[in-house]
Amino acid sequence: MALDGFIHKPRRYNILIGLSMLAVVCLPVYSYRISHDVFALIFFLGNAFIVSYYSELLTLTKKLLFICIIISTLTLFSLDYIDLFITESVGMLSMSYFMFIRYSILELRRKVTI
C-alpha cells in the first residue's frame, strides 16, 4: 500500500494508509492498545475515504454500499457489539476489494489494444 503511494504520485495518501497498516500489524493490541487503535482508525477511515469518496473506479451504488458498511461497522464497534478484529477485517476487506478492482481495470487496459 505504501509502495503504491511512493510509485504513483497522485496516490500519495496510500503512504499514510500503508504505514498505518504496518503499525497496526507491528503494535500488538494488548501491549499497545491506544497506539494500535489510533493506527487502526487511521487505516479504516483512510480506506473509507478512498473507497467512498476519492475513487472514480467504483459506481455510486458500490460507494453507497461501502459507506453503509463502514458506518454500520464503526457504530457496532463503538456500541461494543463487535470487537476490534471484526472491525479491522472489514477495513481490510474494503481496501482489498478496492485494490483488486483498481489493478484488474489497469491490467485489462493493458491487454486491450485499439
Task: Please report which residue ranges of 1-114 form alpha helices under DSSP H.
Answer: 2-7, 13-26, 33-49, 60-78, 84-111
C-beta neighbour count of 27 within 10 angstroms: 17
Q: What is the DSSP letter of 25?
A: H
Output the CA–CA distances (angstroms, integers) from residue 107 to 6, 24, 50, 86, 111, in the order listed. Answer: 20, 30, 20, 31, 6
Supply the pLDDT for residue 35: 92
Supply the pLDDT for residue 69: 87
pLDDT digits (tens, 9 = 90+) for 42-87: 888 887 777 777 777 778 888 888 888 888 988 998 899 998 788 8
